Chains A and B, each alone.
Chain A
Amino acid sequence: MTNEVGEAAAPEALLSVRDLQVHYPLRSGILQRRVGAVKAVDGVSLDVARGTTYGLVGESGCGKSTLGRAVLRLEEPTAGSVHLDGRDVLALGAEELRRERKRMQMVFQDPLASLDPRQTVESALTEPLAVHRVPGGPSAWRTRVRGLLERVGLPAGAGAKYPHEFSGGQRQRVGIARALVLDPALLVADEPVSALDVSVQAQVLVLLEELQRDLGLTYLVIAHDLAVVKHVSTTVGVMYLGGLVEEGPSGELYDRPLHPYTRALLSAAPVPDPVAEAARERVRLVGDLPSPADPPTGCRFRTRCPWVQETRCHDERPQLRVLPGHSPRHRVACHFAEDVEAGRLVPHRGADPAQLAQGPAVAGP
């Protein structure tokens, strides 16, 4: 993470984020003096290679959505850099940023909330083309919109309808078409399928895959569902309390998770197979996520880590590093990852729910 500040972005990277911080000031008293900060994103670096998908996974409050919004400058970062195709996004002025936004678009979790209920889909989708003065004029814009609506699998005539007339899956198709209308290079998709029924989720995931293949899109997919992230991603980053704790090629990260938090997440993800469920490793965490306004010192995961050690974990924040014997693209931020992997360290607390009651007090409600 921080040891990479100033390092040049990999040449094939379309999106390159370096040491990004988004801190929200906490104010108090009649003078509204600054008394602290919520460190929603606290030093994240990542590269997304052109034409690939980077999956960002983590639980609520880990900062994954804030990171996604900061990349598009829907949220102003407090420090760090974001480069899209070599251009520094954070240095752009208002007008330049507006123009650059054509190249990066967002797919939201709830497409109904992001569409105007009183505007037909065709009119809503034509608007960005008019705003960005795309050459061709209204008739060419309408043709483009109709073509896109068909491309995302909506029935003919969908353009004349209003958002509420669509089912959940169709609405997300509209949301994807809206994001694609300006022909962007990068799509940031924040929980694109979590509001959908299981049978419909797969439809949207398959559509995103097809679009990526056909249009050469690059995705940053943000989700809490580990199975969804695994399915769509080339590279996966696991976030905890504002920072990346592990990053690696999708298959490798899921087959050989190195960070205790990744192991806990994977062991908690339910699998629709009773045999596999019974046979799985159980890493049960105690307590809840600490407050990002007052994160633990040293390793942020130490208050819930079953492998926490007396030394280093409390006072030294671990940086992402490569372990011997693993691919150089698989990095983990844990002081004791080798020992945990080799089984030389034994987890402290068992999975017995009765023991949860005696678990150590956790920081903050």
Chain B
Amino acid sequence: MTLLEVEDLRVTFSRKGSPDFTAVDGVSFDVDAGEVVGLVGESGCGKSVTSLAVMGLLPRRSARVSGSVRFDGTDLLRASPAQLARRRGKDLAMVFQDPMTSLNPVLTLGRQLTEVLRTHTDLDRAAAKKEAVELLGRVGIPDPRRRVGEYPHQLSGGMRQRVLIAIALACSPRLIIADEPTTALDVTIQAQVLDVLTGLVRESGTAMVLITHDLGVVAGTCDRVNVLYAGKVVERARREELFARPRHRYTTGLLAAVPRVDAPEGTALQPVPGSVQDRLPWDVGCAFAPRCAVADEACRAGLIGLDAAGGPAAHSARCVHPAELEVAR
């Protein structure tokens, strides 16, 4: 069942004295209940702005948002601020990258956890406190009864991130948006937090949108993946399919550029030349064309559709010359 359906989402920022900037340029994707969907891309691809737009957290004055975000049948973009506030924290929850700035430094963890519970449920103070201890235990915080009275600075980064997850899970949301939830953490802690997050998602049937730049994290957690570049989805497939037969030249380029711990010694890296700043406007052609080794005139002949590559509908690529070869393992 489709829980979240984002269609033709467009976010344009305007600032006095500089031209408008379209950060998200017609992004569509959907998420089923109990599924982890990845939005992958490098800085500036629009992945974080997409998540903020879905949550209704963009500044209304400088950001113009269009398209539709249907959550369980209602369009969140057309919901009133009060309606949104009722949903956020209850049906929709978000886990941010930086656990230090997302927690209030002067409130105990217990206060921050019970705040959500008291706002969205009818638990009384004692029951909410009990639930808070329970939640901290569920995300793997040792000695939750003691920790619940502590302040954020008394916890390590990994523990703080778990507290954020606990807050997000407090009202059993139906959708969690996790924006680079483990990027600030060390690898061993990252593994712990990802285990907690995906374990809880699978166990409770919550859907999750995972936003990351790390293809390794995607390979370990997501069911379906959307690869973003310059504000558009350039490739979409199930995880196994994407990594076994990547089609868009940006995806193949990224995979060849990432060093891997399991690579045989002497494996050469193949960097993608240039940077995201070297891009074409999408209506002129493929934004990635200036960095692409196989780009030709066909790539600069106007907007390219997500189905330009043909092939199965479940695996689409916005590419005129997609890679067809299976990646050698």
**What is the interface of chain A, defined by CB distance below 8 A to chain B?**
59-60, 167-170, 197-203, 205-206, 224-228, 230-231, 250-251, 254, 264-277, 282, 284-289, 351, 353-354, 356-357, 359-362, 365
Contact = CB atoms under 8 A, between A and B. Distances in A.
B314 to A, nearest CB: 16
Interface stretch (B19-27, B268-276, B300-308): B268-276
Contact of A202 (B140, B186, B213, B258): B258
B190 interface: yes
B263 interface: yes
B140 A271 contact: no
Given A198-B42, A201-B257, A268 B219 contact: no
Given A167-B275, A197-B43, A353-B192, A271 B261 contact: yes
Given A60-B186, A231-B269, A277 B220 contact: yes
Given A198-B215, A226-B261, A268 B255 contact: no
Interface of B: 42-43, 137-138, 140-144, 150, 154-156, 158-159, 186-192, 195-196, 199, 213-220, 239-240, 243-244, 253-255, 257-263, 265, 267, 269-273, 275-277, 291, 329
Contacts of B195: 284, 351, 353, 356
A201 B259 CA distance: 9
Given A272-B243, A353-B140, A357-B140, A365 B261 contact: no
B86 to A, nearest CB: 31
27 contacts: A197-B275, A198-B215, A199-B42, A200-B272, A202-B258, A202-B259, A202-B271, A203-B272, A224-B186, A226-B187, A230-B263, A231-B269, A269-B261, A270-B215, A270-B217, A271-B260, A272-B260, A273-B243, A273-B329, A274-B219, A275-B240, A276-B262, A353-B195, A356-B140, A356-B195, A357-B140, A359-B142
A226 B191 CA distance: 14
A169 B199 CA distance: 37
A288 B270 CA distance: 35
A277 B260 CA distance: 12
Nearest to B137: A357
Interface SS of chain A: helix, strand, loop or mixed?
Answer: helix
A357 B215 contact: no
Given A205-B269, A362-B142, A268 B199 contact: no
A357 B259 CA distance: 34
Contact of B187 (A169, A268, A274, A357): A268
Given A203-B271, A273-B329, A365-B156, A197 B260 contact: no
A265 B192 CA distance: 12
A169 B270 CA distance: 15
Contact of B188 (A167, A197, A201, A285): A285
A240 B191 CA distance: 18
Contact of A288 (B159, B265, B277): B159
Given A197-B43, A270-B214, A273-B219, A206 B269 contact: yes
B272 A265 contact: no
A96 B143 CA distance: 54
Nearest to B42: A197
Given A200-B271, A202-B270, A267-B191, 8 more contacts: A168-B275, A199-B272, A227-B263, A231-B269, A269-B187, A270-B217, A273-B243, A276-B219
